[in-house]
Structure 1
Amino acid sequence: MGRHENPLDASAGPVAELAGALRRLRHDAGNPPYQRMARRCRYSAATLSRAAAGKRLPTLGVLLAYVGACGASSDGWEARWHHASKELTAQSPGRNISPYKGLTRFDHTDHALYFGREQLAEDLWDLTRREPVAALLGPSGSGKSSLLRAGLVPRLRQRESGPARGAVVRIITPGEHPFTTHRSLLPSAGAQLPGTFLIVDQFEELFTLCNDPAERERFIAALLPARGTSSRFRVVLGVRADFSSYCLEHPGLAAVVRGASLAVTRMNPAELREAIVKPAQAHGLVVERALTARLTADVADNGFALPLLSHALLETWNRRRGRTLTLDSYERAGGLHGAIAQSAEDVYTRLDTAQADVARRVLLRMIAPGADGAPDTRRSVTRSELASLGDGRTTDKVLESLTRARLITLDTAAAGLAHEALISAWPRLGGWIEQDREKLRFHRWLTEAAGAWEAVGRERDVRISPVRLAQFGAYASLREDLTSLESDFLAAGTATHRRALRDRRAARAMGSLLVVTTAFAAALAWKQRQLLRTARSIGPALSVRPPTPPPWNGRGPWTAP
């Protein structure tokens, strides 16, 4: 540690201990200036500096960004953060850490706060023990991701015995290139790890984000061989119910949906009360009975509304009175339907003009607009995409604001909406999508195509259809939203198109000249043939013998008589 460092005593608490570890990591990396670290990770220098100050627990995204900016591996740091978070909660229950997740899903580290789904989690665990490939089906808002992560994963790790004891659990989402990205983890494509459970969350991304039918088929084929075999490699698919029809079009997936699936059901009143009250009790808090009754009734009237419930509870906790969550605080937060919109509007309206513009562009990049009646879905956005949306400081400010409000999730590699519920619950976002729906569809195609072009080495003669080029011409405002890769792809495709046009014009000109030349030659030949025929027909009549001159008399030149 550097001579001028003044580390806090690790005994001062979990936050100070974690901050001290960050400072040591930076010292071991040569004490790079915070400005340089900020350029590496896109968080501001001030944010990184505060993470190592030890005054408050940084977000997980900031912590991982700090580690990455020091050139270190993130292995173990997420676990250290969760450990510090739990210790902080134990030391000051109910004060600093919310017992509710808002729009963010429950993870396996949150299982101590995950209530109301015990029976469904048991049923899912039992299904995975019987079936090599199983599917969890449920509509948006039913809590599938939380059930997989906070319900199933702890059971897999704690209860597996016999041959599967010590099972490795891996969780992936398909993304735009599912087979290419996750090949090494797939049971029939990469290295076999006995006793591995592969959880494919948000399996519907295979149909909403992956536009390559061949890659989609390879991914499915790599998942399915485990079915009907004695393989210790197990697969669990989390599928949004409105995309189950897509699965039924594939024979292998159809067999899984029909014979090895579990449907996520609505919580009954008792389960809802557990989900509302028990997390608060774990933090030493009290939920007013009137609030519990109101929340139970509101959710019962709105079907699958768990993200709305969780966010409303988070905002109620933010407005609590002492240790009590009250009905009045719930109503001030906007209630079940208004809490998300109110939170989003509060964040958006505090941004200045430049930041608000970046926020709009950031959020729209996180949308995959549905086609042919399919619902709009969220998509993960890479850091390289975000870097194109404004100057670094403005983008950082926007991302931090949206993350702090739990509207988006953010790590060192990517960002995305915390939940698709935000799309329908925030009218402003829904209006942006409807206003730019066709442009968004074109932009999603462009991002995917540019990525594929990059993957094959940016070939110079890449071809873009004239229809796509015409679409880009119609969306002039899209130019300012393009990444450098997307701009380069369009430039290369436009250059190829122009070369093809020049070649076609040259070919047409040459063809026209050839036609004229051929016609002239044909006419000349015809004319020559006509003259020859005419000469032959009148030749005998013109054969007149010339007069014989008189003999020469030898005295001088002959002269005409």
Structure 2
Amino acid sequence: MHSKEYDFFISYADADRAWVEGYLLNALQQVGVRCLTEAAFELGALRIKEFGNAIKKSERTLLILSHAYLANNVHQFITFLAQHYGLDQGIWPVIPLIREHNLKLPPSLDILVPLLATDKDEWEIAVKRLCEQLKCPVPAPPPQPKCPYPGMKPFSEDNSSYFFGRNDEIQRLIQRLRSNSFITVIGPSGSGKSSLVFAGLIPTLKGSGLFGPGEWLVRSIRPGEEPSSTLKTSLGSTLTNLKLAVKKILASEPNVQRLLLIVDQFEEIFTLSQEEERDKFQETLLDLAKIPNCYVILTVRADFYPDLMESSLWEQIQSHRLEVLPLNEAGLREAIIKPAENVDVFIEGSLVERLVVDAGKEPGVLPLLQETMVLLWEKIERRFLPFKAYQTLVLASSAYKNLDGSQLTGLQVAIANHADSVFRNLSKEHKQITPPIFLRLIQFGEGRAHTRRQQLIDSLLSVNDDPGIFKETIEDLTKNRLLALSFEYKDPYSTEKEYSSTNVDIAHEALITSWPTLQEWIEKRQEAEQTRRRLMLKVEEWERLGRGDGGLLDEVELAEVIRWLDSPDASEVGYREALNELVEVSDRVIQEVKEKEETARQRELQLLKERIEQEKIAKEQER
């Protein structure tokens, strides 16, 4: 039977809170050890009095000693301990637990046998010895807590409870939407535009009464090469009568009063769409925004400002835009700490500060930060994430540089290290087809930064690829967060997970700028990939015309394609079997034409020869 209410009173500095609560308390409480901390002190009471009460209620006092603890004016508490127990009797039920090296302890503590807990191995030993003293079992390793960070993917409505750091922007976006139905969210790549809209705005809208009674229906699209067709699929109606289309989609679900259309990565209309299609789509968006209870939000990268200024939407964009700036230090801390707190995980303070410093105010850092947190999560010790995990992750930082020789940041190194590790662990067959997959998913910048280029999964399969190995490669790269898959619904009203096609995308543009290996692939094979795309446009045109005589290669084009197919470029970047078929049909038709021409020529020669012969005979007869 216990003589006192608690087994341990644990005293520690705030700088050690993460380790104490995330590791030590987690381990001890798992096996039923009764622990008391200052968190239970009565508010407004004298601190020294509360210390005394805690000591009296506890079998032992455990002091977590660090430079921060010793600098925190604890001499008064240590003097109190000496007065309460008496140094002469040697009966101090006090255990000094040393968290850091090179501590200069007060004489009253220096005479006691300490526990060492300066690294991971010592942490386990310290917990074991404490449990032995209490004659209780040693705690088993707990299951790893769920990771609350999305990696390089944006936050979504589903994980919005882990989205932090953008409260001001959410409220500003709500107010702008109240006054105008067409809003453009603009910011650098990786600034968190999509997360702000999907994980910040949408949940807030659905819980807000500012727009009146009734629910919101949200539809989101990425424009792609044919944005009007994509929009038509999303709305489930033709675009000839937009008012009817909106009325129909609002009537598809009970109590729905408003439609919110989100066009994510709107810059794709400038990089992927033809001019006629682009203009048509923009006019449709303007018309949609004029319909009552219909709202339109675009997200677009800031480096496309020149394109926006020349577009038919510029007047609306200029007057009703929200510019997303990089998170400030307070926002970064929230984005790092709060998601972990939501799953009861504690991050060491020095790790938080290092991440904030490495992130700085650089644009595009959020996906790097979120992916780094996913990688660090694998190194959690119970419910504690130590600074040493980050040190291990970026240990090879000096080995990573951009192609221009500039050094990568710690966050970029973490991403590059992870991507290289994934690629290194692929089999030889999987490695061979990985570079062509990534190259096809990049829209080359031509004077500005490269961007992502979403593609149907079938378009990534090359003629010599084994379909099974190709599928495994896509799955591996997706599982390890280098690629992202998305789907197009056959029926926009369906709740079933039934898809007509699968789209593949590079997880984030941050991977393009932070992974030197990918940059090397681009530098080496960009020209070959651009040639492949030009040739595939010819294939697509031939297929559009029915794979017959229309759209075939002429003799000069055929010779160019054959030379390319025989070159190393073709095997390096790959191509579809349809290109071989186009070559075969084009060659056959060209040969048929040549044979017909030759036959006609021979017939003409024969006729000419016969005519000459007849003329000769006629002349002889005249003689």
* TM-score (normalised: structure 2): 0.61
Is residue 141 of structure 1 aligned with residue 190 of structure 2? yes
Partners of 1:94 and 1:284 within 8 A in 2: no
Q: CA deviation at 1:234?
A: 1.5
Q: 2:279 aligns with which of 217, 221, 241?
A: 217
Give 5+ residue unaligned stretches, structure 2. Answer: 1-140, 251-257, 395-409, 488-501, 613-623
Aligned to 2:264: 201
Aligned to 2:507: 418
Partners of 2:579 and 2:205 lie apart in 1 by 42
Q: 1:339 aligns with which of 397, 407, 414?
A: 414
Is residue 362 of structure 1 aligned with residue 437 of structure 2? yes
**1:252-291 matched pairs, under 5 angstroms:** 252-291=312-351
Q: 1:432 aligns with which of 505, 512, 521?
A: 521
Equivalent residue letter for 2:423: Y
Q: CA deviation at 1:259?
A: 1.0
Q: 2:214 aligns with which of 158, 165, 168?
A: 165
Partners of 1:101 and 1:314 within 8 A in 2: yes
Equivalent residue letter for 1:352: S
Equivalent residue letter for 1:104: K
2:260 match: secondary structure: strand
**1:228-267 matched pairs, under 5 angstroms:** 229-250=290-311, 252-267=312-327
1:167 match: secondary structure: strand
Aligned to 1:115: 164
Partners of 2:185 and 2:193 within 8 A in 1: yes
Q: CA deviation at 1:360?
A: 1.8
Aligned to 1:441: 530
User: Quick one: structure 1 residues 102 and 503, their matched pair in 2 at CA, closer, same or farther if it must change by over 3 Å?
Assistant: farther
Partners of 2:368 and 2:276 lie apart in 1 by 37
**1:335-484 matched pairs, under 5 angstroms:** 335-371=410-446, 373-388=447-462, 390-411=465-486, 413-448=502-537, 450-451=539-540, 453-455=542-544, 457-464=546-553, 469=558, 472-476=561-565, 477=568, 479-480=570-571, 481-484=574-577
Larger helix percent: 1
Q: CA deviation at 1:358?
A: 1.6
Equivalent residue letter for 1:222: T
User: Quick one: structure 1 residues 474 and 223, their matched pair in 2 at CA, closer, same or farther if it must change by over 3 Å?
Assistant: farther
User: Quick one: structure 1 residues 331 and 180, their matched pair in 2 at CA, closer, same or farther if it must change by over 3 Å?
Assistant: same
User: Quick one: structure 1 residues 184 and 354, their matched pair in 2 at CA, closer, same or farther if it must change by over 3 Å?
Assistant: closer
Partners of 2:227 and 2:269 within 8 A in 1: yes
Aligned to 2:385: 325
User: Quick one: structure 1 residues 494 and 166, their matched pair in 2 at CA, closer, same or farther if it must change by over 3 Å?
Assistant: farther
Partners of 1:384 and 1:483 within 8 A in 2: no
Aligned to 2:11: none
Equivalent residue letter for 1:208: T
Partners of 1:115 and 1:317 lie apart in 2 by 18
Partners of 1:332 and 1:497 lie apart in 2 by 63
Q: CA deviation at 1:156?
A: 2.8
Partners of 2:557 and 2:226 lie apart in 1 by 22
Query: Between Structure 1 and Structure 2, whose CA radius of gyration is higher?
Result: 1
Larger strand percent: 2
Equivalent residue letter for 2:422: V
Per-residue Cα deviation, 1:178-210 (whole angstroms, up to 9, x for no partner) = 222332446954522452111010111112222
Aligned to 1:183: 232
Partners of 1:409 and 1:418 within 8 A in 2: yes
Partners of 2:436 and 2:442 lie apart in 1 by 10
Give me the identity figure in percent. Answer: 32
Partners of 1:180 and 1:416 lie apart in 2 by 19
Equivalent residue letter for 2:472: K
Per-residue Cα deviation, 1:38-81 (whole angstroms, up to 9, x for no partner) = xxxxxxxxxxxxxxxxxxxxxxxxxxxxxxxxxxxxxxxxxxxx
Partners of 2:538 and 2:551 within 8 A in 1: no
The count of aligned residue pairs is: 423
**Cα RMSD for the two superposed structures:** 3.3
User: Quick one: structure 1 residues 116 and 167, their matched pair in 2 at CA, closer, same or farther if it must change by over 3 Å?
Assistant: same
Partners of 2:336 and 2:587 lie apart in 1 by 57
User: Quick one: structure 1 residues 261 and 472, their matched pair in 2 at CA, closer, same or farther if it must change by over 3 Å?
Assistant: farther
Partners of 1:106 and 1:145 within 8 A in 2: yes
Partners of 2:216 and 2:260 within 8 A in 1: yes
Partners of 2:142 and 2:382 within 8 A in 1: no
Equivalent residue letter for 1:408: L
Per-residue Cα deviation, 1:110-141 (whole angstroms, up to 9, x for no partner) = 10000111111222222223222221111111
Partners of 1:272 and 1:465 lie apart in 2 by 58
User: Quick one: structure 1 residues 452 and 275, their matched pair in 2 at CA, closer, same or farther if it must change by over 3 Å?
Assistant: farther
1:217 match: secondary structure: helix
1:384 match: secondary structure: helix
Equivalent residue letter for 2:453: R
Partners of 1:470 and 1:183 lie apart in 2 by 41
2:523 match: secondary structure: helix
Q: 1:156 aligns with which of 180, 205, 222?
A: 205
2:300 match: secondary structure: strand
1:197 match: secondary structure: strand
